[in-house]
Amino acid sequence: MSTPTKKRTIAPELAAENAELRKIFLAKKKALKLTQQKIADELEVTPPSIFAYLNGQIPLNIRAATTFARMLNVPVSAFSRRLAREIDEIASSQTAWIGNGNVASAPHPIRSFSYPLLGWEQIEVAVAMEAVERYHVGELKLPSHSSETDAGRHAYWLPVRGQMMTAPSGITFPEGMLILVSPDIAPEDGQFVVARLKGSTDGTFRQLRVDAGAKFLQALNTAYPVERLDDRWEIAGTVVSAKYPDTLFRA
């Protein structure tokens, strides 16, 4: 006779987070036309994994929580104060790390500045600059986020996508984090850049490395190959700051 499969259980305090998330999902899914399949596609997992999150079979992590929060239009703190605190700590450490010179310094970080949020299909330098200019003069309505960094007239925010810049330890840029991109600042070795294959909308976020005069685009996730930065590529801008969207922390 076969042995019954034991139902997976998680700690009660973690299960409570999943339960809160499930309540929110059930309350909002119809209005948002949201399905478990859509969330699974966004997270690049199978629908059974989403079912497991919603039914308390596996604990939430930062990537899953930020994806659920974004798709449900709620802050992470609405269902997990634990993960909201972790996100806050990561964001604080990113700011400190950036301030130590690993990301290009922008002039006069003395007050709050507002920059528009663009999509990856808009990162071509000319396209991005036009969109930002139209935003500043009020001709184009775009979502915006603030920063204490003066990144220049043409700077804009981009959402990190995928796992290319997610590292197992140390500095990391998880999916959903926002990066502030300045086309006006030339990058140096070790700084982070947004680059685009010329003639396409295929963009990437990488670290610029220079070795014996040759330039390379390197991911923090070692599962991705290093790309040689040759004439096929255009540097769209230098990353001058990074943070999570403020909406993740609003109750």
Residues 63 and 132 in one domain: no
Single out the residue in 35, 65, 84 at which a domain terminates: 84
Which domain does 167 fall in, by range? Answer: 113-249
Whether the pLDDT of residue 216 is over 60: the answer is yes
Q: Please indicate, yes or no, if residue 72 is contained in any of the structural domains.
A: yes
Going by DSSP bridges, is the β-strand pair 156-159/192-197 parallel, antiparallel, or unpaired? unpaired
Residues 80 and 138 in one domain: no
CATH of the domain at 122: 2.10.109.10
The span from the CA of 146 to the CA of 234, in Å, is 27
Q: Which DSSP string corresponds to 96-135? A: HHIIIIIS---S---S-EEEEB--GGG-SHHHHHHHHHHH
Residues 221 and 134 in one domain: yes
Residues 160 and 45 in one domain: no
Mean pLDDT of the chain: 83
Whether the pLDDT of residue 61 is over 70: the answer is yes
Residues 128 and 44 in one domain: no
Question: Which residue has 């449900």 as its token pair?
Answer: 72
CATH of the domain at 30: 1.10.260.40
What's the pTM value of the predicted model, to 2 decimals?
0.59
Q: Which helix (H) or strand (E) holds 182?
A: strand 178-182
Q: Please indicate, yes or no, if residue 5 is contained in any of the structural domains.
A: no
SS (H, E, C) 165-177: CCCCCCCCCCCCC
Residues 172 and 49 in one domain: no
Residues 224 and 143 in one domain: yes
Residues 74 and 132 in one domain: no
Q: Using one digit for the tens of pLDDT, what is the confidence trace for 95-123?
A: 554 445 555 555 544 467 889 999 999 99
Q: Are 189 and 210 in contact (CB under 8 A)?
A: yes
pLDDT value of residue 195? 94
pLDDT value of residue 73? 87
Residues 231 and 124 in one domain: yes
pLDDT value of residue 11? 86
Q: How many CB atoms lie within 10 A of CB 249?
A: 15
Residues 141 and 40 in one domain: no
Residues 146 and 46 in one domain: no
Q: Please indicate, yes or no, if residue 100 is contained in any of the structural domains.
A: no
Q: Using one digit for the tens of pLDDT, what is the confidence trace for 163-213?
A: 899 887 778 898 889 999 998 888 889 999 999 988 877 789 999 999 988
Q: Please indicate, yes or no, if residue 7 is contained in any of the structural domains.
A: no
pLDDT value of residue 110? 45
Distance in Å from the first CA to the final CA of the chain: 51
Residues 165 and 65 in one domain: no
pLDDT value of residue 111? 61
Q: Cα Rg for the chain, rounded, in angstroms?
A: 20
Q: Please indicate, yes or no, if residue 1 is contained in any of the structural domains.
A: no
Q: Please indicate, yes or no, if residue 217 is contained in any of the structural domains.
A: yes
The span from the CA of 36 to the CA of 49, in Å, is 9
Q: Please indicate, yes or no, if residue 228 is contained in any of the structural domains.
A: yes
Please, which pLDDT band fits residue 250 given cuts at 50, 70 and 90?
Answer: low
Q: Using one digit for the tens of pLDDT, what is the confidence trace for 111-154?
A: 678 899 999 999 988 889 999 999 988 889 999 888 888 888 89
Burial class of residue 111 (count of CB atoms within 10 Å of its CB; 0-12, 13-18, 19+):
exposed
Number of structural domains in the chain: 2
Q: Please indicate, yes or no, if residue 164 is contained in any of the structural domains.
A: yes
